[in-house]
Chains A and B, each alone.
Chain A
């Protein structure tokens, strides 16, 4: 049973425009949410996170939004750059359990065209 879903396998965006990546989860006990970026044949690198007590967290060009009632989070990248082209994974952590024990979505391949 997939507890974390990224329903868009891929997204194509023009350079300079906004990229919006979406993630839905089913377990209401998740209380910490993260986004990772991954290039082929490499390990994921941490991008940005958000706690369940917040609804928005911003870091430079990256903003994560959390809608707890809808069990939905999204990552906005503005402006998008060709170097942002990668696979993006959302990940969730259960409240009260061991940190780092992440439940991942399937990933969304982002392609930013020059």
Chain B
């Protein structure tokens, strides 16, 4: 079955540590995105990539980094510079000419 897989579903991190969230898709979509959801807020765009080896900052990129070495994969690293990392993180993808983004199941990151 085609889809977007995010792992792990739950992640705990100590303050000061970097952590990487995985996102893999087998939909052959060109573009991939990372969003963050906080309680009472909509999803906010962190980073996006329209093509391999290229990515752009979204609205809240500070404290995050990404890479796009393969079409199928778009990992997100939450660095120690991110001041409020506890949130629900969602990865999404779109085909070349599609506007409707398809989302993964999300990763709940908690800083302890």
Contacts and interface: CB of A to CB of B under 8 A. Distances in A.
Contacts, number: 72
B108 A34 contact: no
A94 to B, nearest CB: 11
B99 interface: yes
Nearest to B42: A104
B45 A41 contact: no
Q: Is the interface of B mostly helix, strand, loop or mixed?
A: strand
Nearest to A36: B103
Nearest to A100: B94
B40 A98 contact: no
Interface residues of A, number: 26
Interface residues of B, number: 31
Contacts of B99: 32, 34, 49, 93, 99-100
A109 B88 CA distance: 17
A98 B35 CA distance: 15
A41 B108 contact: yes
Contacts of B44: 104
A108 B86 CA distance: 22
Residue among B42, B94, B98, B104 having the largest count of chain A Cβ atoms under 10 Å: B42
Interface of B: 4, 6, 9, 31, 33, 35, 40-45, 48, 50, 58, 88, 90, 92-94, 97-106, 108
